Structure 1
Amino acid sequence: MIVINPYLNFAGDTEKAMLFYKSVFGGDFNVFEKFKDMPGGDKISAEAQQKIMHMSLPMGKHTHLLASDTLESMGQTLTPGNNFTLTVITESEKEADKIFNGLSNGGQITMAMNKGFWGAYVGMLTDKFGIQWMISFDAKK
Structure 2
Amino acid sequence: MRVMVIVKATKASEAGELPSTELLEAMGKFNEELVNAGIMKSGDGLKPSSTGMRVRFRGNERIVTDGPFIETAELIAGYWQWEVDSMDEALEWVKRCPNPMTEESDIEIRQFYEMADFAENDPDGNIAEQESQLQTATAMQESTLTPYLFFGGRCDEALAFYKQSLGANVVMLMRFSESPDPVPEGMLQDGFENKVMHATVRIGQQNIMCSDGCGDATSFNGFRLTLSQPSTDECKRAFEALAEGGNIDMPLSKTFWATLYGMVTDKFGVGWMVMVPEPQN
Which interval holds the TM-score relative to the shorter structure? Answer: 0.3 to 0.5
Choose 1 or 2 for highest CA Rg. Answer: 2
Query: Does 1 or 2 have the higher relative contact order (CA < 8 Å, sep 6+)?
Result: 1
In the superposition, the TM-score normalised over structure 1's length comes to 0.43
Greater per-residue helix proportion:
2
**Larger relative strand fraction:** 1
